[in-house]
Amino acid sequence: MSMRKWSHRSLVSAFLPAVLILFFLILSASPSANAIPAFARKYGLRCSACHESWPMLNYFGQKFKDNGYQLMNDRDAPIWQNPGYWPITFRIIPIWHRVSTGKVLVDSAAGTDSAITRITSSGFDLSGLDFHTGGTLEKNFSFYVLPSSDATGAFHFETVMARLDNVFGSSWLNVKLGKFELDNLLSEKRILTLTGNGGVYQLYHFIPVGDGNIFGQMGDNQLGAEVMGHSYNDRTRYSAALLSSNDGTVGLPYGNAYTGFFTFSQAFDAGKTGVDRIGGYAMVGQAPTTWLTSGGPSSYIAGSGVGNKSFSREGFVGQFYFGQHVDLQVVTQHGEDNAWFGQGYGDVIDGVSSVNNTPGTVLPPGSRSPSWNGVLFEPHYIYSPQLIFIGRYETIRMSQQSTPGTPSNLGNISTYTIGYRYNPFMTSRAGFAWHNEYNWLHQDGTGPTLGLTSANINTSELLIGFDFDF
């Protein structure tokens, strides 16, 4: 059979296995890199010392972070470093992914928005670029700055914080100021998955359908101050943060409202199975629903928000280890927003809300505070520090809709994610992972309406990529 007679399909089927084998051979033979990023370079430890699988922290890494990026020995202060040392790491992820979104409203011969179809697109892509720089300014003075871009290179400050560590010589008192990730034990910033829906914890960002409150997203880095403490070996931890209710947006765009975020957890030595941890968290805050306008009813003045209404998120966290290879991370949540948020009042500045709680406004009769419950389970199988298999099931169920008569399941979410990360080398110099992942997400009732009922939406994404930092 000559080459010309080969069909496209037979070409692919003939060469794909060979290409994959070659690819894995190349990966297996990859030499160690020769420069050390940030903390690994500073302390001469491998990524695996602090990361269950990079970037997710293990227990030792959590303690290192809690100590203000210090091992608590005499090598912590930068005076011990080579003067040429610059604590910076960059991370970017080239990927190929296939995204399939069900039930998209499209135009057809019957008219505008007259049909529903599934749209599937695939191709090569990039994540944004992160520049992580962090460490110590002096013993017990730590910092972290993270300029982060989207995939087009538009930068913002994801993290900017300085921290006083071990105040009065006590690990129970550490004070942080700036923009930072909340003290979530299961950190979304260190999530092991990368797809659009699987690369975040839905629980950390859930907003009921029609709700105008964006300020309760515990997955977003927030502006504020945090007091945090822990026992010598990090078995016991607490934190309390006072945050501006602005979802981490700089420039005081909303108003004068604050949110508190509190955590407590206790770990237990479970013998051969490892160290297990259970804890809880609570986010209680207020955010504005009333805005001054200038030049028309929809020209809202930034920073003028008043009429603060309340919201809360609380739940339990469990980190359970079953020997060196298997662990299970669990987070639960009960969330509730004030009825005003539920009726769409809230963030008008970003256009999330289109209504203003001006004097004299009344809620529709029967309006209630929307509430929901959710849980996520994330098991890991760690074959070795270089290979981890990841699974996740996450579900959120509305327990009360704001408007009576609304379908009780409107906005419910279920999502599954599976994947693995393979690090072909493990050194104290750089991180590289071959990443494969599949995510499927289902949401009730948020699809386009053609007929009487809203459709459910199913989306899925397959992602293959190189996740690396240096």
**Type of residue at 132:** H
Residue 269 as a binder of other proteins (CB under 8 A): the answer is yes
> Minimum distance from CB of 318 to other proteins (Å)?
17
Cβ nearer to other proteins, comparing 267 with 339: 267
From candidates 46, 189, 205, 368, binder to other proteins by CB under 8 A: 46
Q: Using CB under 8 A, which of the segments 57-65, 110-118, 219-227, 458-466 binds other proteins? A: 57-65
**Run of H or E including 66:** helix 59-66
Cβ nearer to other proteins, comparing 133 with 427: 427
Q: Strand, helix or coil at 38?
A: helix
Alpha-carbon Rg for the chain, nearest whole angstrom, is 24
Residue 298 as a binder of other proteins (CB under 8 A): the answer is no
Cβ nearer to other proteins, comparing 48 with 187: 48
Cβ nearer to other proteins, comparing 51 with 103: 51
Q: Residues touching other proteins: how many (CB under 8 A)? A: 31
Beta-sheet pairing, 371-384 with 326-337: antiparallel
Of 116, 207, 192, 209, whose CA–CA distance to 458 is shortest?
116
Q: Using CB under 8 A, which of the segments 73-81, 142-150, 351-359, 393-401 binds other proteins? A: 73-81
Q: Which of residues 195-254 bind other proteins (CB under 8 A)?
A: 232-234
Structure tokens at 2: 């000559």
Q: What is the largest CA-CA distance in the chain?
A: 82
Residue 39 as a binder of other proteins (CB under 8 A): the answer is no
Residue 129 as a binder of other proteins (CB under 8 A): the answer is no
From candidates 43, 261, 300, 434, binder to other proteins by CB under 8 A: 43
From candidates 11, 270, 301, 306, binder to other proteins by CB under 8 A: 270
The single-letter DSSP state of residue 32 is: P
Is the alpha carbon torsion for 250, 251, 252, 253 positive or negative? negative
On the CB side of 437, CA atoms within 13 Å amount to: 31
Residue 274 as a binder of other proteins (CB under 8 A): the answer is yes
Cβ nearer to other proteins, comparing 279 with 411: 279
Q: Is 142 exposed, middle or buried (0-12, 13-18, 19+ CB in 10 A)?
A: buried
Residue 326 as a binder of other proteins (CB under 8 A): the answer is no
Q: Is 408 exposed, middle or buried (0-12, 13-18, 19+ CB in 10 A)?
A: middle
Residue 65 as a binder of other proteins (CB under 8 A): the answer is no
Beta strands per DSSP E along 250-370: 258-269, 275-287, 309-322, 326-337
Cβ nearer to other proteins, comparing 212 with 274: 274
From candidates 324, 358, 409, 449, binder to other proteins by CB under 8 A: 324
From candidates 2, 31, 35, 74, binder to other proteins by CB under 8 A: 74
Cβ nearer to other proteins, comparing 235 with 368: 235
Residue 86 as a binder of other proteins (CB under 8 A): the answer is no
Cβ nearer to other proteins, comparing 70 with 338: 70
Of 53, 50, 52, whose CA–CA distance to 61 is shortest?
50
| Partner residues linked to 157 by β-bridges | 147
Give the Cα separation of 245 and 349 in Å (integer): 13
Cβ nearer to other proteins, comparing 32 with 120: 32
Of 437, 440, 435, 393, whose CA–CA distance to 418 is shortest?
437
108-124 burial: b if 16+ Cβ within 10 Å, else e: eeeeeeeebeeeeeeee
Of 219, 216, 223, 204, whose CA–CA distance to 160 is shortest?
223
Of 368, 374, 359, 365, whose CA–CA distance to 313 is shortest?
374
From candidates 6, 27, 72, 352, binder to other proteins by CB under 8 A: 72
> Minimum distance from CB of 49 to other proteins (Å)?
5
Q: Which of residues 411-430 bind other proteins (CB under 8 A)?
A: 427-428
Q: Using CB under 8 A, which of the segments 42-50, 83-91, 238-246, 389-397 binds other proteins? A: 42-50
> Minimum distance from CB of 167 to other proteins (Å)?
17
Of 77, 71, 226, whose CA–CA distance to 137 is shortest?
77
Residue 45 as a binder of other proteins (CB under 8 A): the answer is yes
Q: Let me know: does 295 contact 152? Beta carbons within 8 Å.
A: no
Give the Cα separation of 434 and 26 in Å (integer): 12
From candidates 6, 27, 60, 442, binder to other proteins by CB under 8 A: 60
From candidates 10, 117, 354, 384, binder to other proteins by CB under 8 A: 384
Q: Strand, helix or coil at 337?
A: strand
From candidates 38, 55, 56, 59, binder to other proteins by CB under 8 A: 59
Q: Strand, helix or coil at 399?
A: strand
> Minimum distance from CB of 33 to other proteins (Å)?
11
Residue ranges binding other proteins (CB under 8 A): 32, 43-46, 48-49, 59-60, 62-63, 71-75, 232-234, 269-272, 274-275, 324-325, 384-385, 427-428
